[in-house]
């Protein structure tokens, strides 16, 4: 007996990539028919979500992570996620492994960075945003990454993040230094950690 496509979506948490839907037995024509009847909505090219679900609270991050599951939210986008900056990200900053092709999306705009294997794998947290697994670097790794990209971001952004992090009273100096070594900015970070934390 053929499964109901809506049940397939519900069992998957309400959203599927086209390839996942086809693998689960939903044909392309059925997907397009469900879309045309507003039963499912495209979240991004090739990603669909049940229209009955509430709106996604952070659609930019969710869209990027649905399309590119290996991408990790980093730099300004991660600072914003962790509420360590007053900067408003105009692009979603993501990290990918050094050997990867850089992802591309029409919307939201991306700023992709290739990280070395060790820097890419260190400090990843997984968060659930309305059923979407969003991988983002933890606060300490994000600060170390920002030191590494300080010439691009501006030292004022880095120092603001470090100050706000210090104000949270959950300071993990050892972890900051560990990530600083991984990102090869430990010596650069040290004097700032001594004065600000």
Q: What is the pLDDT of residue 177?
A: 94
* Strands 15-17 vs 47-50: parallel, antiparallel or unpaired: antiparallel
Cβ(45)–Cβ(27) under 8 Å? no
Q: Up-side HSE of residue 118: CA atoms within 13 Å toward CB?
A: 7
Angle between helical axes of 186-196 and 155-167 (0-180°, round to 10): 50
CA distance linking residue 67 with residue 136, whole number of Å: 15
Q: What is the pLDDT of residue 10?
A: 86
DSSP secondary structure string for all residues of 60-74: HHHHHHHH-TT-EE-
Q: What is the pLDDT of residue 1?
A: 59
CATH number of the domain located at residue range(s) 59-196 in this protein: 3.30.460
Q: What is the pLDDT of residue 16?
A: 83
Instruction: Read off the DSSP letter of residue 38.
Output: T
From-to residues of CATH 3.30.460 in the chain? 59-196
Q: What is the pLDDT of residue 133?
A: 87
Average pLDDT of adjacent 10-residue blocks, the chain of 197 residues: 82 83 89 90 80 77 84 96 92 92 80 94 92 92 97 95 87 92 94 76
Task: Determine if the pTM surpasses 0.85.
Answer: no
CB-based contacts of 170, cutoff 8 Å, min separation 6: none
Instruction: Read off the DSSP letter of residue 55.
Output: P
CA distance linking residue 83 with residue 167, whole number of Å: 12
Cβ(100)–Cβ(70) under 8 Å? yes
Q: How many residues does the chain have?
A: 197
Q: What is the pLDDT of residue 197?
A: 52
């Amino acid at each position: 007996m053929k499964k109901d496509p809506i049940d397939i979506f519900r069992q998957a948490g309400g959203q599927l990539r086209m390839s996942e839907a086809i693998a689960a037995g939903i044909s392309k024509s059925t997907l397009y028919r469900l879309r045309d009847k507003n039963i499912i909505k495209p979240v991004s090219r090739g990603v669909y979500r049940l229209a009955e679900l509430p709106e996604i609270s952070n659609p930019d991050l969710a869209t990027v992570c649905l399309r590119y599951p290996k991408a990790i939210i980093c730099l300004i986008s991660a600072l914003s996620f962790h509420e360590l900056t007053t900067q408003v990200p105009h692009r979603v900053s993501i990290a990918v492994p050094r050997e990867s092709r850089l992802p591309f999306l029409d919307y939201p705009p991306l700023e992709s960075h290739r990280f070395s294997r060790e820097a890419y794998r260190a400090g990843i947290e997984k968060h659930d945003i309305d059923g979407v697994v969003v991988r983002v670097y933890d606060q300490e790794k994000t600060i170390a990454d920002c030191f590494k990209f300080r010439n691009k971001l501006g030292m004022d952004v880095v120092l603001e993040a470090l100050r706000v992090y210090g104000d949270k009273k959950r300071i993990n100096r050892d972890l900051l230094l560990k990530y600083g070594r991984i990102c090869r900015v430990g010596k650069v970070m040290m004097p700032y950690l001594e004065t600000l934390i």
